[in-house]
Chains A and B, each alone.
Chain A
């Protein structure tokens, strides 16, 4: 599936909820489905800075696509990162670099984009794009 198609799918899913509580409950559910990072990869260099909760993010290249795994000690943060992993994992580096992130607004997670929330949604996206850039640079060389 393309990044755009997955984003559309998420927008569809989230549009079913009438209120924030259902949305949050769904995010908590999504958090449980997050492909977890290997325990031995939970090292400081995998931590994303700028989060109130801890977020570890790992990436590896398989058949020209980036596979992300992650974890967090906070449940809602885990849900947020599960959404991002669903969108960006198993995609080509260039596609991740080209993707826009407007869907976050549309699924009602805009408030998490504010830097004051300090949950690091912005940092998470940045880190994923950084990995994509690094892999893309490798491919170009």
Chain B
């Protein structure tokens, strides 16, 4: 299918609204993506026609809902090329998935074991591990990054040893857009027998990871960054890990048999899916993946790279503007500051001009500490953004600069 940007934009009702009297220019896609009509329709259809609890009712509605939910799981399995559908565990989102794994490892780690995280993690990928280390006596090590916002691979290799039990790294940095070399990171970790969890929250709207080829142990992501609804995501875990890790929460759905003496747990994936799940969310996640695949990830990548290149060139022409995250492999995120101006001030003024960007530390304070800055202005582009919108951003930033200096 050819990439028709105007046709694509028509799929997203929100893109035609105005903000503060200006057409909305939505450049906060790294925080959450907008939703196409196809996904909105799917949600309406679910609640209008076959809302029911799943996996237990024998009645028709429950069957239909169960079929739709499980077929979404299959869709997700196919999309990410997982070996089995039951290796896909529905979660409330990336953070939930990370905590589920961290909780499981609290039973496995011993004092003196080591876990490695990268210096460019989101807070949600730092805090659970700190808690885990406090609980188990394991030691947290950090892969440093360089000025370009790229991980220093040789330092990573030095950190690895027989003591390393786990490596956690994001696929793509939310604050900088850097794509991390996860293939090599996974390979090296496996050489010392460590497991790897990759946080794909920022990646999956831009690229299509092949989980079997990556040979990753755990992979987490959220639907809402991929044109799906909030409150749902997935945790992929290799079957062997699924059998090894203990359940996270007790409740309905995750049991095989319950007596007051003993409960036996259900198999994968239900062991990790206690309680009534976000049924509609799971189904709509499937619809979002269908939508993205109709456009095609190759076309998405090509268009987004064009936006990134154009925005980088245009923004750098503004005097005193500095971009953070300048590595060779990055997605369509431009994190920047203008000398002498606080990012918050820029964000407040461009918002008045209808432009949605993010300002602040982007839940990645260690990165801001590294650069010794309070935060950045972050424009993050999606496939439905246009070159004209980049122009609007650049004009707005220039206006802000004029007002503020």
Interface residues of B in 385-405 (CB under 8 A from A): 403-404
C-alpha spacing A24/B403, complex, angstroms: 9
Does A53 belong to the interface (CB within 8 Å)? Answer: yes
Does A74 belong to the interface (CB within 8 Å)? Answer: yes
* Contacts A21-B403, A25-B403; A74 near B345 (Cβ below 8 A): yes
Task: Report yes or no: B404 in contact with A75, Cβ–Cβ below 8 A.
Answer: yes
C-alpha spacing A118/B347, complex, angstroms: 12
Task: Report yes or no: A53 in contact with B342, Cβ–Cβ below 8 A.
Answer: yes
Task: Report yes or no: B403 in contact with A73, Cβ–Cβ below 8 A.
Answer: no
Task: Report yes or no: A76 in contact with B352, Cβ–Cβ below 8 A.
Answer: no
Q: Which residues of B contact A20 (CB under 8 A)?
A: 20, 352
Main secondary structure of the interface of A (DSSP, over half): helix
**Chain B min CB distance to A110 (Å):** 13
Task: Report yes or no: B360 in contact with A75, Cβ–Cβ below 8 A.
Answer: no
Does B46 belong to the interface (CB within 8 Å)? Answer: no
Does A67 belong to the interface (CB within 8 Å)? Answer: no
Q: Which residues of A contact B359 (CB under 8 A)?
A: 52
Does B12 belong to the interface (CB within 8 Å)? Answer: no
C-alpha spacing A90/B374, complex, angstroms: 32
Q: Which residues of A contact B360 (CB under 8 A)?
A: 52, 118
Task: Report yes or no: B20 in contact with A76, Cβ–Cβ below 8 A.
Answer: no
C-alpha spacing A132/B360, complex, angstroms: 30
**Chain B min CB distance to A131 (Å):** 24
Q: Name 22 A/B residue pairs within 8 A (Cβ), A-sorted.
A: A20-B20, A24-B348, A24-B349, A24-B352, A24-B403, A52-B360, A52-B374, A52-B375, A53-B342, A53-B345, A53-B374, A73-B342, A73-B374, A74-B344, A75-B341, A75-B404, A76-B345, A76-B348, A77-B344, A77-B345, A117-B348, A119-B344
B residues touching A (Cβ–Cβ < 8 Å)?
Answer: 20, 341-342, 344-345, 348-349, 352, 359-360, 374-375, 403-404
New A-B contacts (10) at CB < 8 Å, excluding given A28-B403, A52-B374? A21-B403, A52-B344, A52-B375, A53-B344, A74-B344, A75-B345, A76-B348, A77-B342, A118-B360, A119-B344
